[in-house]
Structures are given as C-alpha cells and as structure tokens.
Amino acid sequence: MTPLPGRILVVRHGETGWSREYRHTGRTDVPLTEAGQDSARGLAPMAGEWHPAVTLCSPLVRARDTALLAGLTPEIDPDLLEWDYGAFEGRTTAEIRADTGDPDWSVWTTSEGLGESLEEVGERVARVLARCLPVLHSGRDIVLVSHAHLLRVLTARWLGLPSGGGAAFVLETAGTGVLGYERETPVLLAWNA
C-alpha cells in the first residue's frame, strides 16, 4: 500500500520589535520580543503533536529561537531567509509610499529598490519545496520555520500559483499553516491556526 502523502507545517517566527511596528524586516537579525518568546512557547503543544521527519529553519535568530522555544530541533536552510528588502529594510509601507510618492507601493508589485526580486524569492522557495517532496511522498511530515513574506510565496507556489499569489496569504506572527494534499492535488489544509 502506498503511504499517504505527508504534510508541511509552516511556522512564522514570533513577534519582534520591527514586526510589531510593521517594518519590513528582511535580513536584519532582530530578536524576538518577550511577547514573541511567549507566543513561540505557545506553539510547543501543537508542535509536539507533529513528529516531523525534518524541521528546516531560516538562519535568522527570530526564526531559530521560535523553533527552539516551540520544542523543535531545526536544521538551518539559507533558502528560508526572508526576502531581501534592500533600500526598504526597516521601513513601513506607509513611509515608503510617502517617500516614493506611490500610494500603491507594495513589495508584491514593485521590484525597484528591493535587494531581491519576487522571482528570486520564488526560485528559493522552489528549492525548499523540491527538498520537501521526497519526504512528503514517503508519508512523513515536515516543519518549516521562517518569515511572513517568504512563507506566503512558498504557499502560493505550493498551490501552483505565481509567486505574487502570496499577497493573498497574510500570516500573523507565530502563525501557522498546513500544506498538504487532497489525493494528488496540493492544497491548503489550515491557515493562521
């Protein structure tokens, strides 16, 4: 009998000072706040119900600490780094819109000034998903601990959408989602659980 395909639990890191202020936090290694640490610990019961064959994690401290506080043993994967926001690092969307004079500015629609294009982020998540597939097809589960925009792009790509489809999947700090299958079709099983 063929094993049932596994699932992917995606976990966004807990709150940081910058995420609380809605600042674009790409490669800056901002630590969790006390509330972020508490919410990461709050993930432990759910994480304990999963018995992942693999837990992959961004190398940034906010993701690593979230994984460890949730009771997970992560393997670092640099492809899970957050989007490189370039000149927009540390700035809010409102500040960027005011400075650029573009009331519709968004990372999802603008590449000028970013350190990494949406397509490049999509290429990174494609590598992560390719690494996951053999594990999933053997019937085992995977946990990915990373960042909001990166996990949103990954979810879009899992569902067969273009990378920009990630704009539709808001993921709260310490939020989780479950990616899996309905028969052979990749689906979204849960979001912000």
| Integer Cα distance of 125 and 153 in angstroms | 7
Spatial contact of 65 and 158, defined as CB atoms under 8 Å apart? no
Selected catalytic residue, list 15, 24, 82, 116:
82
Tokens read off for 132: 């996951």
172 is catalytic: no
Q: What are phi and psi of 70, to 5 degrees?
A: -85, 0
| Integer Cα distance of 17 and 106 in angstroms | 21
34 is catalytic: no
Residues serving a catalytic function are 13, 82
